[in-house]
Structure 1
Amino acid sequence: MSSPDPLAHLAPERLVVLDTAHLAGLISDAISNSRERRRSAQRFIADLLERRWLPLLSWHHLEELLQHRDEALVDARVRYLRELPRAAWVRPFDDRAGPGSILEVFRAEVAAAVAYPGARPAQVRDRARQHVIVIGAGDDAIPEHFRDWRLLRPALAAQQANARRVAAISRWRAHDIDDKPIGAWFGQPARAPDDVSRRLIRMREALEAEISVRGDKRIADPRAMAEEFMREVADDGYAVAGGPQLAPAVQLLVNAGLDPDDIDPSATFRQTMDLLMFHRRLRLVAESFELPWSELKRRALRNNLPSVRLEDAMRLYAQDQQERKGSELNDTHLLCLSPYADLTCVDKRTLESLRRARTKCPDLDQLLGKVARAPTYAAVVPILPEQ
């Protein structure tokens, strides 16, 4: 456990979310054979601490830092983070798990919304902050067992593959239906099996082409990815066929995770899917709260949770890149730490996407700390906001 903080009487420390590339470059310089590069890395950390700034670490940083073919370099990265004299990190659900992820941020925001019903997003952020951030030494942030990071490789590879899948498929639509009312499908009967099969084949072919052209180039088999996704779609559809109590479209939504009273016929397809994804995530943290599901839904509204507001805005208004890389998902997760940091460093693409989102959602300005681009870690100190 961390000892009492001897610096608590000083001015509050401020937090900077570095891009993972910054951390990778910093560590490479710190272990370099070049004296100049080593001094540059030493100066950076010294400058941060002297100004009472701390790097804010998360699982999303570790997830990328641990995925390198050079095992000796990964060992050095873990060792460097553990040797940091002082750092901040996202509080994990389990103290032995290392820095937490966006799910822990979400859990803290839900807890704040549950405790203070009707709180606005900025109020939720302010009340959640004390439960989101932990400050201490590097070896508190990165527990000893992370030296055995190789055991995490299968899970890390699976997460990376899933990120590529999400990035490749999430924007794809078989038809342009995002803005159509979901109720338009409620009166339609289930299709004949032969018709369904033909449509699924056409959709699979279209999705395969989309993944081949727009997906992450590291996706080895676009056809297999498309087939797996369409199998899931088909399984959901076949499950509906045996349920005559509700209209097929309604039954499909209920099977996916919505309660019948959550389904608004006037809501668009996009709005309904957003609500479905939100409720799925809410169920992941529901066991942390001694509340009936109906009451949890009533108090934890997606529009009042800062990280959800930001994710929604980025999903709707971010640039649709020609190549939809899996790393975009991690970039968004790091950006979602910005309500809890004084400075968040992002790449040029993410900064432009955020600019577009802010144009459409100006209320985001009330939620976020400063977000800026720094091409290297050495360029971060000059853009630190003044006290």
Structure 2
Amino acid sequence: MSSSEATDAPPPVQLLSPSGEVVESAAADEFRPYVDALGDDGLRALHRDMVLTRRFDREAAALARQGQLALWVPSHGQEGAQVGLAHATRPQDHLFPSYREHAVALSRGIDPVDILRLLRGHTHGGWNPAEHQNFHIYTLVIGSQTLHATGFAMGLGLDGKSGTGDPEVDQAVVTFFGDGATSQGDVSEALVFAASFQTPELFFLQNNQWAISVPVARQSRTPLVARAGGFGIPGTQVDGNDVLASYAVSRRDLEAARGGGGPRFIEALTYRVGAHTSSDDPTKYRTDDELQSWIARDPITRFEAFLRNRGEGDAFFADLETEGDDLGADVRRRTVSLPNPDRGLIFDHVYSEPHPLMTEQKQWLATYEQSFGDAGETVTTDEGAA
């Protein structure tokens, strides 16, 4: 019995077929008003963000192969799920990513080179969330960000920043995680507290079918969205390669969460076309037939067909390709010219206030480096260069 056959759950919400045709169904009718409100410019913006994210992904993958990055985490294939969700948020919402949410990061104003600085080993955080529309830093510890998000969402509720009915005040929290993270205790604990305190929160699961080399069918005998119901949280499964479905369902659920309706859960069915990371070889554990079946459902190809059916001309797509090439060239130029960070930075921000132990260790490293003479790199201490 497959996981999709194990329950009587409704089929995933889908507004566009893999060929880009509009789906006619009762579920589609429910979400059509959200799509209609986007207008032509909103639809173009969805496509632009998906295309530019993939172009950035391609350039970063090339940089990793050429030794310019310590690691790269591809998002190829998951652009539809991410862009749809990103466009459903408001600027005051707080987003807690894992480490593959590049499309969401770019949509919230993160400089793509800041993502690469992190994966190149030049920074311990990457960016200040307060300066980038509340997009919090990447989290490499699987599932831990769901606890951070839930704690923050509990704080919003206690501070009266949700459920007021004022769209300028009400906030929501989104936490991103993958199918593999659902097997972590942190995720279950976050769901417990979210349900208990009715947090203004959306749990956004990108089920990309593989937790490195472990298939989702081995992790769960039922659809992962069914787990939400066990905690008393409403859950919806969507076609994650349909950017419109991701947008519309996320928009509905975020409005409910902000309005005091408690947490929501979305399982976006998508696929990791690339490797888990640049250190992984997916040919060792998955078949080419499976890969090709998902490539046929590519979110960007699907949405381009939809836009062309609406009458979008070649000029838009040609201009977007040029913009993507410019982005790739800019990312490459700035990444390879990044200066090496000061080694003393490892001691900064360990504590929110100056700490004598950190000061002592930083001075020790400066003295040690100085003992090598000109061969050693300069370490800057609080007293100046050593």
TM-score normalized with structure 2 length: 0.23
More helix by share: 1
